[in-house]
């Protein structure tokens, strides 16, 4: 097992852990938003969204991204630089099935039309949704992305010493490790 992969496995929850970490997706636009890390594997990091979103439009124009995962106690941060591409269909279907009922329903109701409604109308629309989220298939607008990394930066704080970053950079198909000041 490569050293960068071992560190990812050590830091990130297993893909079947329902408590998915939040991460900030930054696009080349520049723009940023927080979303869930759906899963990760040896190919990269996956997230899912509505195909009509501004982020999808930005990724179509320029697929370069940064992902930032920050641990709640501010002792760790992972920054991933890479290129986003559409995730394989089977991964998208698997990720949707793994979503909570709330997130499945959100995929169906979180659209521009709903966003324009006052809060009470949005709540009523939510409450009147009669489909069983457990049996729902992904809406046609559900899309997943794979971010293939070319740089991984692991920042670790230390209350008794200076923090430092361990950086892995992909060069000609091989990962190279280096250390940077925090």
Dihedrals φ, ψ of 137, to 5°? -90, 160
pLDDT per residue as tens digits for the range 52-79? 999 999 999 999 999 999 988 778 999 9
- Chain-centroid distance of CA 83 in Å reads 13
Buried/exposed code over 36-51 (b: 16+ C-beta within 10 A; e: otherwise): bbbbbeeebbbbbbbe
Rounded-to-integer distance, Cα 78 and Cα 165, Å: 9
Task: Please report the sign of the dihedral spanned by the C-alpha atoms of residue 14, residue 49, residue 108, residue 115.
Answer: positive
Q: Is the peptide bond before 30 cis (omega within 30 degrees of 0)?
A: yes
Rounded-to-integer distance, Cα 131 and Cα 174, Å: 48
pLDDT of residue 73: 79
**How confident is residue 180, by pLDDT bands cut at 50, 70 and 90?**
very high
**How confident is residue 85, by pLDDT bands cut at 50, 70 and 90?**
very high
Pick the closest to residue 34 from 43, 48, 24 (CA basis).
24
Q: Among all chains, which residue has been given the structure tokens 């489909």? A: 131
Domains and CATH numbers, the chain: 3-97+144-181 (2.30.110.10)
The mean pLDDT value for 165-182 works out to 96
Element (H, E) at 78: strand 76-86
pLDDT per residue as tens digits for the range 26-53? 999 999 999 999 999 999 999 999 999 9
Task: Characterize the bridge pairing of strands 142-156 and 44-50.
Answer: antiparallel
């Amino acid at each position: 097992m490569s050293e960068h992969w071992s560190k990812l496995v050590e830091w990130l929850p297993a893909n079947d852990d329902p408590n998915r970490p939040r991460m900030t997706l930054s696009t080349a636009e520049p723009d940023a938003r927080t979303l869930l890390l759906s899963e990760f594997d040896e190919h990269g990091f996956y997230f899912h969204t509505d195909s009509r979103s501004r982020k999808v439009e930005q990724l179509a124009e320029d697929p370069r991204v940064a992902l930032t995962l920050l641990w709640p106690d501010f002792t760790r941060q992972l920054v991933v630089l890479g290129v986003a591409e559409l995730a394989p269909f089977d991964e998208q279907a698997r990720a949707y099935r793994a979503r909570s009922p709330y997130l499945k329903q959100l995929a169906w109701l979180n659209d521009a039309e709903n966003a324009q409604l006052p809060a009470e109308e949005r709540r009523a629309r939510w409450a009147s949704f009669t489909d069983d989220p457990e049996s729902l298939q992904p809406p046609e607008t559900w899309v997943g992305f794979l971010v293939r990394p070319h740089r991984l930066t692991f920042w670790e704080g230390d209350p008794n010493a200076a923090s430092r970053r361990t950086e892995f950079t992909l060069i000609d198909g091989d990962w190279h490790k280096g250390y940077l000041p925090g």
